[in-house]
Amino acid sequence: MSVLPLDAPTVLRPRRLRAVPTPTPGAGALPAVVRPDPVPLVTGGLVDYAQLDHGASTPALERVVRAVDAATRTYSSVHRGTGWLSRVTSAHYEDARAEVARFVGARADDVVVFTRATTDALTLLARALPAGTPVVVLGSEHHAALLPWPSADLHRLPVPHDADDALASITAALAALDPARTGGPQPLLVVAGASNVTGEFWPLERLVGAARRHGARVLVDAAQLVAHRAIDLERLGADWVAFSGHKVHAPYGSGALVGRRDWLDAAAPYLPGGGASAAVTEDGTRWATGAARHEGGSPNVLGAVALAAACATLREHREVVAEHEAALTARLLDGLRAVPGVRTYSLLGPDADRGPVATFTVDGLDSHLVAAALSAEHGIGVRAGKFCAHLAVDALLARAGAPGQPTATTAVRVSAGLATTAEHVDRLLAAVRSLAASGPGVAYRHDPEHGWQPLDDPRDLAVTSLW
């Protein structure tokens, strides 16, 4: 019997293990997502569900389901046990970390901290800011990127009118805070990779360039970017990136903050406890450094595996996904813009590079009623409201208001993606045309608790337990 030497690493080298022992479709084919059962219509019958709410959460990839199933059959404690399965599970967890690093083009010395989602990742960095750090953020950001910063030196900039306006106001704010001029602390610019309201891609190279020229660091909120486009931290020169598993075709409960380790290592642990502590004596605690410092408690290994399987799949299929989405984007936007009585919205201007997302209103119709009718009568899932970006939506709607006409207070967001077919978009366009021309096809009532509901709905929402 061979015995490992005492000083041998207690964790298997991740590269020797295959975390996802399943074949993958060729890079030329779209990766398969889980297809739900047909859904019932209020008018009777069943229809293929048109999931046009990818911006909120994306359906799981089949490969993710297989990876989670495999991990569920073997999981054991992570970095806490000597048993073989603990070693295997710890290796899967670190393998997942390596894949996430690859997915975002991390530098060799960057740290990957697993979090619950983007909100958690952004809040983690907010808690780790060195005291007095000025933070620059556009008012158009999602609340997760807008709200977690200490108010002491927060520079919230107006919702921009277009990309040049955004660049000008960010550059002016950063120039005024430039440490070379002020002698003060290094500022942080927080910016989305893509808007969750319009799907437009922010000009990251130009924004990071401006930050670099003025001695600022950059955190990219990539929650709406990475399902559609790659990000390469090293090439871009940004300092951190945050994103969520449930927006890249992995289930809920996983996300990551990736980037420079210095501020994170100097900060108090995000979740003090086991794993985050290297040594505890009566005299005090020595905290771990690196990812462990902020991953206190037993980690979400299944979430990490799911996230990594999704990252690997998207990374391997970037071109085919981009082609699929470019066709959807053109179909969706050209189609909506051609419907009389429908207005579409943009933060960055008509020529902005964008993903397959459109935010629109229908003159004279409450956006929540439009969303309810799309669901009940057409089997289409979209989102209505202000999409956790109240300042952005308020500004867009106010700017579009015509004199003498009531201004819409909310909008509808259609967000397509990997699970979307051309038929889904065509069905949406036909439904919007009909809504704009003659309103909903059945009667609806509104109450404050449930919003708009069909007046007479024969469908039975009773679900049987999944277990």
Ligand X SMILES: Cc1ncc(COP(=O)(O)O)c(C=O)c1O
Residues belonging to the active site: 388
The answer to the question of residue 223 lying near ligand X (CB under 6 A) is yes
First to last CA, the chain: 44
Looking at the Cβ atoms of 113 and 145, the one nearer to ligand X is 145
User: Which of residues 54, 79, 87, 142 is near ligand X by CB under 6 A?
Assistant: 142
Segment near ligand X (CB under 6 A); pick from 102-110, 220-228, 395-403, 451-459: 220-228
State the nearest-atom distance from the C-beta of 434 to ligand X, in Å.
29
State the nearest-atom distance from the C-beta of 120 to ligand X, in Å.
6
Phi–psi pair at 393, nearest 5 degrees: -70, -40
The answer to the question of residue 224 lying near ligand X (CB under 6 A) is yes
Segment near ligand X (CB under 6 A); pick from 9-17, 142-150, 178-186, 302-310: 142-150
Distances (CA, A) of 329 to 103, 166, 194, 459: 24, 23, 14, 33
State the nearest-atom distance from the C-beta of 160 to ligand X, in Å.
15
The answer to the question of residue 366 lying near ligand X (CB under 6 A) is no
Looking at the Cβ atoms of 202 and 287, the one nearer to ligand X is 202
State the nearest-atom distance from the C-beta of 371 to ligand X, in Å.
16
The answer to the question of residue 140 lying near ligand X (CB under 6 A) is no
Segment near ligand X (CB under 6 A); pick from 216-224, 348-356, 378-386, 434-442: 216-224
Distances (CA, A) of 75 to 23, 92, 178, 453: 21, 9, 49, 43
Contacts (CB under 6 A) with ligand X, residues 61-120: 117-119
Looking at the Cβ atoms of 233 and 388, the one nearer to ligand X is 388
Draw the binding track, 376-405, toward ligand X (x: CB under 6 A; -: no contact).
------------x-----------------
State the nearest-atom distance from the C-beta of 290 to ligand X, in Å.
23
Contacts (CB under 6 A) with ligand X, residues 173-192: 192
Contacts (CB under 6 A) with ligand X, residues 233-252: 244, 246
Looking at the Cβ atoms of 342 and 411, the one nearer to ligand X is 411
3-state secondary structure 396-409: HHHHHCCCCCCCCC
Under rule CB under 6 A, how many of the chain's residues touch ligand X? 14
The answer to the question of residue 221 lying near ligand X (CB under 6 A) is yes
Question: Long-range CB contacts (< 8 A, 24+ apart) of 98-102?
Answer: 98/14, 98/15, 99/19, 99/308, 99/311, 99/312, 100/256, 100/258, 100/304, 100/307, 100/308, 100/311, 101/258, 102/311, 102/315
Looking at the Cβ atoms of 145 and 211, the one nearer to ligand X is 145
Looking at the Cβ atoms of 54 and 214, the one nearer to ligand X is 54
Segment near ligand X (CB under 6 A); pick from 45-53, 139-147, 150-158, 310-318: 139-147
The answer to the question of residue 170 lying near ligand X (CB under 6 A) is no
Interface residue list for ligand X (CB under 6 A): 117-119, 142, 144-145, 192, 196, 221, 223-224, 244, 246, 388
